[in-house]
Structure 1
Amino acid sequence: MDINCWIRTSFIILFLTTLSIPVAGHADIYAGQIDTNFGTGGIVDVHIPLNHNDERHDREDVRVFDVKQDVNGNFFITGIVAHGNRGGPLWSWNTAYLAKLTPMGGLDATFGNGGVVYLQEHDANQGEHPRMAIQSNGKIIVAYGVSGENNGLGFMRLARYNSNGQRDETFLGEEALSDSIWQSLEDSPRNGQLVISRIDDILALNDDKVAILTDGRIFQLNENGSLDNAFGEGGYAFLNMDASSDGRIIPFEANGVGKILVL
């Protein structure tokens, strides 16, 4: 049983994950008391529905990696559902998801399928460590790693969703990671996508540009997902730190002027 805690401006969200049901608690950070107006007595059980009908998948574990709140008070949750088969490995594959909760903690039925969208088209992909950011227009950008393809190498996928859970086809997403990046980074392209080992965080800037931190690099995209060539060297910058360390890199926007502080 794992407890993950995220602290935001005026509240704490606790997600207590056990099997397939995360439990959320809402508290006032100053008073230290549970907000009983949230859910039932300050607690809400969130059930992430299955995305398949195969009876062999008899074991599942829901994990939360990121939580954000929009200007209307809605909560967005992204994470993975780890699937297991009878007689097989404990967890056979992971599927990344995005869920929307109302300000009172219930799944928003107007979003996706009953409040949840799955970010992958088929179960063969392994969703890894998804992160998200909410732009000023209310659209949600999700970045997540994929493994289990390309001879086991991982790569990053980007997607943007409208407030109703529909994928925004105007966002370039993974296509923004062009061959020019590969040549600059002296990497080899894998089906046109950026090979990574992890995603540390994703940040929506004031002008709705997007900064992505991964493996000691910052990539900056324009609002539509194209590379911002004015940033760093053709849209990316290296961080002068050990990208292989276990410490998570956490960015945030400093002083409201579009600068990025990395911890």
Structure 2
Amino acid sequence: MKKILLLVILVIQNISAQIISKDNAFATNGIYNSGINVYFSWTMVQDSAGRIYSSYTDPNGTDSVLFRLTTNGTLDPSFGNGGTVHLPHHTYQNQLKIQSDGKLIIFGYSNTAGIIYRILPNGQLDPTFGTGGISTIPPTGSDINVRSYGLILQQNGKIIIHGMIDGPNGTGWHQVSRLNTNGSIDSTFGNSGSFRTAGNPVNGTFVFTDNQSNIITLSNINSANNANGIMKKFNSEGQPITSFGDNGTLQMTFNLGYAGGAMMDSNNRIVYSNQDHEIFRINPDGTLDNTFNYNLDTYSGLNGGAWIQSIVEKNGYYYIGGNGEGDFSSTYFISKLNQNGSINSSFGYYSEAAALSSIEEMVINDNNIIVNGSGYIVKYLLNNSTLSATEAVKNNPEIAFENPAKQNLVYRSKEKVNRIEIYSLDGKILKTMQKDDSDISELPKGIYVAKITFENGKISTKKLIRN
């Protein structure tokens, strides 16, 4: 018996596991609660010191607030008034970016104008920007899912902003504009400071800059005559790149679907998700990248799919976050994809049923992940070490298995179980279940590792023998 156990321990130590748990040293048990409704707080950015900025509009629609958290998740008293700044204008869906000098750029929209602020690191408006730290443009808004809207900082310090504007005959257009470093409209950009993309992009328009500082727009057109996506390419000065497509415009050969999230990776490829639970990658020439194969079926635990709203590249992997659908409609999740689109087996996916019903933005650090949505900011720690033998074979008093298991996995638990994942000893996920007495007869006899996720967010690992 001792000989067998020793063999199990040696194998288990080779499992590459990346277990997520909340950072209890951050805010309150890992969660900062702004107290604001899901529709009014969703943007976030982290500075080089690890401090977190976010902004919200109060539910009464009368006040817009910017705040900064320290690295431990508390309001930073050195910023603004006790950690908060009440912005002069009431704006919606504020976008945040940090310049290389530490100044913060904010872009939001109101019913009368698009508002751009530049904020000093102490929370004061920058008097060298616009008029007293504020610049305005004609009214600019987002589509119904807040996808056609954004802020980009160019390498030359200029600021690109983009969003929806009213078009002819009740249609919507997407407009891209640029500001000089002092907040004035840059008339050398595009056509006297701006250019427009395809009309009526109600399903989302994304704007990116590639490694050559070109500007790429990707739009899904809701039109019977233009059922597929449209990609446009402009140089850094907003002029069409005539060598691409038809004078800078490419009518794509496939439909993008109702927009979820999108990002341009380090190889100038666009990773795009939609509400059909799809993720695909688009080559720089506008064709589908057939080497990227995200398989929804591997998300067996999400029961009906997931709407991915945030995609972040880090160290050659894609981290995805969003909310589950189907039986998992009240959950949010985080996962990690390999370069070929497969789910990284050492990470799997982490989902949780909590007040934070969806992840809108993520910051991926080497040892932690910070997510934002529904008015909450949550910090998770990453355990990058291997799953230790002690963790794998420990006797967890919160849950007990019938072990060895035969045809079904039977357990008793003091805590309500969200799901149980069964892994092989080389770290591959084999099965996910959510109910007691679940059939595991398809697993060959042998030794496995069971990862148990409880509804309260706790995670436990146990050795499982299938007999």
Cα distance change on mapping 1:84 and 1:165 into 2, 3 Å = closer
Q: What is the letter of the counterpart of residue 131 of structure 1? A: F
Length-normalised TM-score, structure 1: 0.69
Q: What is the letter of the counterpart of residue 140 of structure 1? A: I
Match of 1:126 in 2: 200
Match of 1:102 among 180, 195, 220: 180
Q: Tell me, yes or no, if structure 1 residue 33 matches structure 2 residue 106.
A: no
Match of 2:93 in 1: 4
Match of 1:261 in 2: 319
CA distance in 1, matches of 2:305, 2:152: 25
Question: Is the Cα contact below 8 Å between 2:126 and 2:133 reproduced in 1?
Answer: yes
- How far apart are 1:42 and its partner, in Å? 0.7
Match of 1:196 among 257, 267, 271: 257
Match of 1:137 among 212, 225, 249: 212
Q: Tell me, yes or no, if structure 1 residue 82 matches structure 2 residue 166.
A: yes
Match of 1:222 in 2: 283
Match of 2:312 in 1: 252
Question: Is the Cα contact below 8 Å between 1:154 and 1:196 reproduced in 2?
Answer: no
Q: What is the letter of the counterpart of residue 13 of structure 1? A: I
- How far apart are 1:243 and its partner, in Å? 6.3
Query: What is the SS of the residue equivalent to 1:131?
Result: strand
CA distance in 2, matches of 1:228, 1:36: 47
Cα distance change on mapping 1:138 and 1:157 into 2, 3 Å = same
Match of 1:58 in 2: none
Match of 1:150 in 2: 224
Cα distance change on mapping 1:195 and 1:231 into 2, 3 Å = closer
- What does 1:47-58 correspond to in 2, within 5 Å? 47=138
CA distance in 2, matches of 1:200, 1:77: 20
Match of 2:35 in 1: none
5+ residue gaps, structure 2, are 1-89, 143-148, 322-467
Match of 1:22 in 2: 114
CA distance in 2, matches of 1:219, 1:74: 31
Which 4+ runs in 1 deviate beyond 4 A? 172-175, 236-245
Question: Is the Cα contact below 8 Å between 2:220 and 2:255 reproduced in 1?
Answer: no
Question: Is the Cα contact below 8 Å between 1:170 and 1:224 reproduced in 2?
Answer: no
5+ residue gaps, structure 1, are 48-60, 86-91, 178-191
- How far apart are 1:84 and its partner, in Å? 7.5
- How far apart are 1:138 and its partner, in Å? 0.6
1:140-195 Cα offsets, whole Å, 9 max, x none, are 11122322x218x96432212111222224445755x5xxxxxxxxxxxxxx4405
Question: Is the Cα contact below 8 Å between 1:140 and 1:162 reproduced in 2?
Answer: yes
CA distance in 2, matches of 1:243, 1:17: 35
Question: Is the Cα contact below 8 Å between 1:62 and 1:80 reproduced in 2?
Answer: yes
CA distance in 1, matches of 2:227, 2:91: 25
Q: What is the letter of the counterpart of residue 214 of structure 2? A: K
CA distance in 1, matches of 2:285, 2:168: 37
Cα distance change on mapping 1:119 and 1:253 into 2, 3 Å = same
Question: Is the Cα contact below 8 Å between 2:244 and 2:250 reproduced in 1?
Answer: no
Pair member with larger Rg: 2
Cα distance change on mapping 1:201 and 1:141 into 2, 3 Å = farther
Q: Tell me, yes or no, if structure 1 residue 159 matches structure 2 residue 232.
A: yes
Question: Is the Cα contact below 8 Å between 2:96 and 2:151 reproduced in 1?
Answer: no
Cα distance change on mapping 1:243 and 1:12 into 2, 3 Å = farther
Query: What is the SS of the residue equivalent to 2:155?
Result: coil
Cα distance change on mapping 1:225 and 1:84 into 2, 3 Å = closer
Match of 1:209 in 2: 269
CA distance in 2, matches of 1:101, 1:237: 41
Match of 2:9 in 1: none
Which fold has the larger relative contact order, with Cα–Cα distance below 8 Å and residues 6 or more apart in sequence? 2
Query: What is the SS of the residue equivalent to 1:208?
Result: coil
Cα distance change on mapping 1:201 and 1:174 into 2, 3 Å = farther
Question: Is the Cα contact below 8 Å between 2:97 and 2:151 reproduced in 1?
Answer: no
Query: What is the SS of the residue equivalent to 1:18?
Result: coil
CA distance in 2, matches of 1:162, 1:142: 11
Question: Is the Cα contact below 8 Å between 1:219 and 1:237 reproduced in 2?
Answer: no
Match of 1:231 among 279, 292, 299: 292
Length-normalised TM-score, structure 2: 0.41
